[in-house]
Structure 1
Amino acid sequence: MKQTLILLTFLFTFLLVNAQNTVIKAGHFFDARNGKMLDNQIIIVKDGKIKAVGTNLKFNKTDSIIDLSDSWVLPGLMDCHVHITANFTYRNLQMEQMFASESTALRALRGSVVAKQFLDHGFTTIKEIGNDANYATADIIKAIRYGWIQGPNIMYAGKIIAPYGGQSSGVNPEHEHIWNFEYIDADTPDEIKKAVRKNIYNGATVIKMVTGDNGIYNAEDIKAAVDEAKKYNMKVTVHASGGLAATNVISGGAAAIEHGFGLNDEQLQLMKDKGMFLVGTDFSYDNWYAYGMDAATATALNNSLVDRLKRAYKIGTPMAFGTDIIVDLPALNRVQSSLKVLETWKAAEIPASYILQTMTINAAELLGIDKERGILEANYFADIIAVKNNPIKDIEAIKTVHFVMKEGEIIRNDKE
């Protein structure tokens, strides 16, 4: 019996050591650190991680070969501002109606579908930023982990922490606190700390606050959240447009400002000096129009975003890609609707290589996962995608995804 166990242990160890690798032949390879394309690279994957990258690497005949020699191979993309469980009717946003009519279970079902859409389109990591009822995304994350459904790696904010009222408007006193379906009222540093702890208890891995909608947080309020989150090695990101609200966020030491539509040059420079990220959610004209704006307003808002994006890039404010789409465009799914924001980046004449960095290495740095995701190097998770056309020539080539691998598992391979 003892000899049999020894033999089985030896065989298991032999098989483990000599386990088959996956070898990807990459005709064109995006070096996210330097923002350049390299040619004829080989990526060796084992046990969900990248084992080696380079030219002329040796591999075994028994290894599984994936030939992407005619493709452009990239790290898995990241979207740092999504709402996978929310969807509003085209040109008719009614948040309070959603609170009353859609259960957490329904929201989770929708979110599982949208999560799969993101993964299939090459987004292997997303930051779910809130507005998901009573922690619906926490259960989506569990379902992905259990293997019940497929979805990206999800960084999760839980409920949004905000001054009284969340982001609601016009709710009559008889329905006070209906917004607590998705928000936590927190109006003092102690209330903010308690809200951070509640979110962490319910599965949050990042903290989101809102300021400037129904009240403006002081810098001390922001710092209270930052200090509390830091105890758990988490970051705080804050929805703010501009003005005093944004200035207080910058002074309070948050990791990022979400949206930042009204940021001036001084604020953008302060963000650069502090290493604070802008997650710009730069809606296209079509996205603004879908949200219910008339044509003139949609055009003006889009022009304003083009200007702010140009200024942020020129100043050197760190940027991570985010979309914030909660209205699907006609005949398009969530990811296709979200990628309309690329039109704004192109109008601002941002180099495609930099846009790719905001979707990979920059996003990973903001999310605190830059030691494990965001680039294609040894010991990083094998989050790898391939597109049919060169995204350095035209960033919209990322819409031509035909291969997706997440943590070494092939999710999509259109050639098979």
Structure 2
Amino acid sequence: MTKNIIFLLAFLITSLTINAQNTVIKAGHFFDARNGKMLENQIIVIQDGKIKEIGTNPKFSDTDSIIDLSNSWVLPGLMDCHVHITANLPYRNLQMEQMYASESTSLRAIRGSVVAKQFLDNGFTTIKEIGNDANYATADVIKAIKNGWIQGPTIIYAGKIIAPYGGQSSGINPEHELFWNFEYIDADTPDEIKKAVRKNLYNGATVIKMVTGDNGIYNAEDIKAAVDEAKKYNIKVTVHAGGGLAATNVISGGAAGIEHGFQLNNEQLQLMKDKGIFLVGTDFSYDNWYAYGMDSVTATALNNMLVDRLKRAYKIGTPMAFGTDIIVDLPELNRVQSSLKVLETWKAAEIPASYILQTMTIKAAELLGIDKERGILESSYYADIIAVKNNPLNDIESIRTVHFVMKEGEIIRNDNK
């Protein structure tokens, strides 16, 4: 009797598996992120949130759910490796400390849930939330997404930013000392840095962010202390640095990435290439700089600086991952639309569209440590899939025309219906 029951259960499970409805996408044009090329007439078979099979003639059933994207350009879900979803400052009037005083963590979390949905709806299925989110507001946004209360991208999360005394503040009077600890952790020795890493991990961090060069410069040993501590838990360290000694120490300390790197010289960019350290350049356009309060002359000069650094990094071969860093929305534009203005800088630097797409997909996934499960469309990878109306290899701005979004096999947006 027992053998008969076991056989019956095995038969039922097998039958359910065979008859399970898959989702099949007919992709007229398909971006092969590994090789940076478009393939034609590919069929993607999706089962249980992952890609089961892909090719020109895979097997599928009449009972499967068919999505016809024959006239679209199908891409892996995009990734932004430097976002601040809970922050939003006034146009041309940056006042971080005012935001600390007037906006609670719960309010910041509500904003974060709205902005997270904007990213997902516009094709960004993964983001790296890099800090400045009050008292761990994004940790609750992530919980809400995982519980299915709201929709949002996969979020790689930094927690509070670890920095020398003062965070990134300036001019705080002594009566309000430590006001910045709403968003930063002061850590001035290797032991303090290790403790800060552990505190962030306790509160849900999956990446560690440090700041150096704003209020004090970390030594290479300080960076290494964070890297070694984070490595115990299989997570990475990325560091905000402009250039000079601060950036040199980050490179020597073995961080996974440098955020911004506006003043990096060629020697530093070459060292980053040699060590496999990523640049997340946050390459603001003129409009972004102007929105942050710069006058037109300064905004032009800063944008020209970024175009030059971006050209040099690409020529040298420094690994790069796409990041935006926008906390000021442009007039009449939402967060993602404002963020994508940085594409103007990439175009001005004459970076090929195929490479830009790779920095937003496979290369971003490598930096984030998720390249075995996301960033490309291949068998066994999560079905994070988007479609746009025009060929982004002809003009990278075409990624603004997203009309289909799938995250882990779930359809988030389908304007074809």
Q: How would you bin the TM-score normalised by the shorter chain?
A: over 0.9
What secondary structure is seen at the aligned counterpart in 2 of 1:375? coil
Tell me what 2:84 maps to. 83
TM-score by length of 2: 0.98
Q: CA deviation at 1:16?
A: 3.1
Q: Spell out the pairing of 1:162-241 with structure 2 (5 A cutoff).
A: 162-241=163-242
Q: CA deviation at 1:6?
A: 7.4
Tell me what 1:259 maps to. 260
Measured in 1, the distance between the counterparts of 2:40 and 2:154 equals 28
Structure 2 counterpart of 1:47, one-letter code: D
Q: CA deviation at 1:46?
A: 0.2
Tell me what 2:307 maps to. 306
What secondary structure is seen at the aligned counterpart in 1 of 2:43? strand
Tell me what 2:70 maps to. 69
What secondary structure is seen at the aligned counterpart in 1 of 2:119? helix
Q: CA deviation at 1:349?
A: 0.2
Q: Spell out the pairing of 1:5-404 with structure 2 (5 A cutoff).
A: 10-404=11-405
Measured against aligned partners, the alpha-carbon deviations of 1:37-74 in whole angstroms (never above 9, x if no partner) come to: 00000100000000011011121111100000000000
Measured in 1, the distance between the counterparts of 2:14 and 2:115 equals 40
Structure 2 counterpart of 1:232, one-letter code: Y
Q: CA deviation at 1:391?
A: 0.1
Measured in 1, the distance between the counterparts of 2:340 and 2:404 equals 18
Measured against aligned partners, the alpha-carbon deviations of 1:364-415 in whole angstroms (never above 9, x if no partner) come to: 0000000000000000000000000000000000000000000000000001
Structure 1 counterpart of 2:20, one-letter code: A
Structure 1 counterpart of 2:122, one-letter code: H
Deviation >4 Å, runs of 4+: 1-10
Measured in 2, the distance between the counterparts of 1:257 and 1:325 equals 17
Measured against aligned partners, the alpha-carbon deviations of 1:304-353 in whole angstroms (never above 9, x if no partner) come to: 00000000000000000000000000000000000000000000000000
Measured in 2, the distance between the counterparts of 1:13 and 1:111 equals 43
Q: CA deviation at 1:14?
A: 1.7
Measured in 2, the distance between the counterparts of 1:16 and 1:183 equals 49
Structure 2 counterpart of 1:348, one-letter code: A
Structure 1 counterpart of 2:283, one-letter code: D
Structure 2 counterpart of 1:362, one-letter code: K
Q: CA deviation at 1:11?
A: 3.3
TM-score by length of 1: 0.98
Q: CA deviation at 1:7?
A: 5.4
Measured in 1, the distance between the counterparts of 2:259 and 2:345 equals 16
What secondary structure is seen at the aligned counterpart in 2 of 1:261? coil
Measured in 2, the distance between the counterparts of 1:8 and 1:35 equals 46
Structure 2 counterpart of 1:102, one-letter code: E
Q: Structure 1: which 5+ residue stretches go unaligned?
A: none
Measured against aligned partners, the alpha-carbon deviations of 1:87-114 in whole angstroms (never above 9, x if no partner) come to: 0000000011111110000000000000
Measured in 1, the distance between the counterparts of 2:9 and 2:321 equals 49
Measured in 1, the distance between the counterparts of 2:142 and 2:11 equals 37
Measured in 2, the distance between the counterparts of 1:64 and 1:326 equals 39
What secondary structure is seen at the aligned counterpart in 1 of 2:261? strand
C-alpha RMSD of matched pairs (Å): 1.3
